[in-house]
Chain A
Amino acid sequence: EVQLKESGPGLVQPSQTLSLTCTVSGFSLTDYSVHWVRQPPGKGLEWMGVMWSGGSTAYNSALKSRLSISRDTSKSQVFLKMNSLQTEDTAIYYCTRDYFDYWGQGVMVTVSS
């Protein structure tokens, strides 16, 4: 069974760095890409970036200077790091596979002092 699960801190202080982990099961990271998508409360979806199966990455240009995506294939984990967080980064952060056919449950991240 394909599963993705996000984990990370629920609260981050402004200007600090957000670190999230997406742990997957039921498929290999070397066969499928994993994307990060976020959703501010009550708002729409924003694609953040992707870890392709071959190990390359791509980022939303609006976030590129602050965002980094990496992985550990041996642990079936994809990592998101985003620095200089502001209140507008408050959102539910999702990881999703490939053609967005499977999604994690999402993790709510609040940026607040």
Chain B
Amino acid sequence: DIVMTQAPLSVSVTPGESASISCRSSKSLLSSKGITSLYWYLQRPGKSPQLLIYRMSNLASGVPDRFSGSGSETDFTLKISKVETEDVGVYYCGHRLEYPYTFGAGTKLELK
């Protein structure tokens, strides 16, 4: 199985400041079709996860452009600029390259 490793486990951010979350995969997520199969999700407290970024750098529908995704074949970053109170929650990276799809352990974002 592909192992997804996130860092840090938690991050505390002042509202209005930026935050970055890292994710590393144990195998290249670049598919034979040239698609990087890396996704980011946010799970707000008590809620279902929501899709933020698909295919490494594409913003999901309705997601503010304060969120952005970047990376290589195995190292990925989610950046949140100008953090707002609604951004609090746990962020997960995950892949869809092969079965089983797996997720990182999550990064908890809190406000200072």
Which residues of A are in contact with B by a Cβ distance under 8 Å?
Answer: 35, 37, 44-47, 58-62, 94, 96, 99-101, 103-106
Contacts and interface: CB of A to CB of B under 8 A. Distances in A.
B99 A58 contact: yes
Interface residues of B, number: 21
A44 B101 contact: no
A101 B96 CA distance: 13
Given A99-B39, A101-B51, A44 B60 contact: no
Given A101-B61, A105-B48, A45 B100 contact: no
11 contacts: A35-B101, A44-B104, A47-B103, A58-B99, A94-B48, A99-B39, A99-B51, A101-B54, A103-B49, A103-B50, A106-B48
B20 interface: no
By Cβ-Cβ distance, the 4 closest A-B pairs, closest first, are A103-B48, A47-B101, A60-B100, A45-B103
With most chain A CB atoms within 10 A of its CB, the pick from B51, B61, B96, B104 is B51
With most chain A CB atoms within 10 A of its CB, the pick from B39, B92, B100, B105 is B100
Interface of B: 1, 39, 41, 48-51, 54, 60-61, 92, 94, 96, 99-106
A60 B99 contact: yes
Contacts of B48: 94, 103-106
A45 B104 CA distance: 8
A61 B51 contact: no
A94 B51 CA distance: 14
